[in-house]
Amino acid sequence: MSPSTLRQPRFIQMHGQERAAVRAELAAGLIAPQAIISPKYLYDALGSRLFDAITELPEYYPTRTEAALFKEHAPALAALLPPHATLVDLGAGNCEKAARLFGWLQPARYVAVDISVDFLQSSLSCLQRQYPALDMLGLGMDFSAALTLPPEAGEGARVLFYPGSSIGNFTPAQAVHFLRQARAAAQGGGLLIGVDLVKPVEILEPAYDDALGVTAAFNKNLLLHLNRLIGSDFRVQDWAHQAYFNATLSRIEMHLRAVRDVSVHWPGAQRQFRMSERIHTENSYKYRGADFDALLRQAGFSQTTVWQDPQGWFAVFWAHG
């Protein structure tokens, strides 16, 4: 094939929030009595790479447990999922997980969606070279508020792929809302989704507070991202990583805790944090299989199939109908 006939992925940058709206949302979160920042701001270019490193950690069981499930149950999945559909990868990141489905799913088109469009461009261009015949589209969009795919994502049945248990970043009520939108966006296809399950706290907590300190770096990097977004003067060394399982709400919570009294300034405002005051940066909900199945049905899916690893640590659901 001559270089001129090589297919190139197309990229569409969806209109997100205006910069001023992002700044207003972040500032409001910072001055709230219990300071809070959305976990989506963990994923700047460095944050996306640190997350990739997290998935390699011995303590971080979700990625490898899910990968083993997809590998072991590929024949069953191949028999159930519609062939030649559009594969929509939600939160594609490095696109690696979806590429492992290409062999048995035989998608007609691959649509990679991610909030970090720079990261997406390099990984999708690399993937296009490996699969020159596949029609690929990169979508830079934040689907956490609304999952409305543009017409360029194609007509006909879609397989929405939402692996890695990112659904855990939503509260259960928000998750139902998201799942309802996913069902509509599937256009008669379905949703293939990874869900992290409740397990002993001795397994859960180290997965979010690893010995190497990669998750701590991932969490603290949020401050550097914030400094660029709102012009604040956070110093990484003023903050400590904190992660624990909140059993009442069945979620891992990540926080940044001030290690001394800290004052932070940015154009238009400032905030004093007393020592041990915290910024809440992420929730990662853990489900019981039956409870997540109920959420899928609440969202309108009538058919669900689930696969779990022998230890019951992680689940993959195929939901349609």
Report the residue from 48, 215, 221, 242 that binds ligand AVJ according to the rule CB under 6 A. Answer: 215
- Is the backbone of residue 63 left (phi > 0), alpha (psi -120 to 50) or beta? alpha
We find the least distance from the C-beta atom of residue 183 to ligand AVJ, in angstroms, to be: 21
Q: How many residues lie near ligand AVJ (CB under 6 A)?
A: 11
Which residue lies nearer to ligand AVJ by CB, 25 or 52?
52
Which residue lies nearer to ligand AVJ by CB, 91 or 189?
91
Q: Give dist(CA 17, CA 26) in Å, integer.
A: 12
Which residue lies nearer to ligand AVJ by CB, 159 or 254?
254
Which residue lies nearer to ligand AVJ by CB, 86 or 209?
209
We find the least distance from the C-beta atom of residue 220 to ligand AVJ, in angstroms, to be: 12
Which residue lies nearer to ligand AVJ by CB, 164 or 189?
164
CA distances from 153 to 143, 187, 306 (A): 14, 11, 27
Sites for ligand AVJ among residues 149-208 (CB under 6 A): 164-166, 168-169, 208
In the complex, residue closest to ligand AVJ by CB: 284
We find the least distance from the C-beta atom of residue 93 to ligand AVJ, in angstroms, to be: 9
We find the least distance from the C-beta atom of residue 208 to ligand AVJ, in angstroms, to be: 5
Sheet holding 158-162, edge to edge: 10-13, 135-140, 109-114, 86-90, 158-162, 190-196, 314-320, 303-308
We find the least distance from the C-beta atom of residue 252 to ligand AVJ, in angstroms, to be: 7
Residue 16 burial (CB count, 10 A): 14
Helix (H) or strand (E) holding 40: none
Which residue lies nearer to ligand AVJ by CB, 50 or 77?
50
Q: Give dist(CA 283, CA 169) in Å, integer.
A: 5
Q: Give dist(CA 40, CA 225) in Å, integer.
A: 11
Which residue lies nearer to ligand AVJ by CB, 52 or 277?
52
We find the least distance from the C-beta atom of residue 171 to ligand AVJ, in angstroms, to be: 13
Residues 47-66: x/- map of binding to ligand AVJ (CB under 6 A)?
-------x-------x----
User: What 8-state DSSP symbol labels residue 288?
Assistant: -
The answer to whether 44 contacts ligand AVJ (rule: CB under 6 A) is no
HSE-CB for 9 with a 13 A CA cutoff: 27
Report the residue from 284, 299, 301, 316 that binds ligand AVJ according to the rule CB under 6 A. Answer: 284
The answer to whether 282 contacts ligand AVJ (rule: CB under 6 A) is yes
HSE-CB for 262 with a 13 A CA cutoff: 23
The answer to whether 221 contacts ligand AVJ (rule: CB under 6 A) is no
Assess contact for 109 and 187: CB atoms under 8 A. Answer: no
We find the least distance from the C-beta atom of residue 57 to ligand AVJ, in angstroms, to be: 9
With a CB cutoff of 8 Å and minimum separation 6, the contacts of 111 are 86, 87, 88, 89, 136, 137, 139, 149, 153, 154, 158
- Token output for 64: 């490898």
We find the least distance from the C-beta atom of residue 198 to ligand AVJ, in angstroms, to be: 14
Query: Applying CB under 6 A, which residues contact ligand AVJ?
Result: 54, 62, 164-166, 168-169, 208, 215, 282, 284
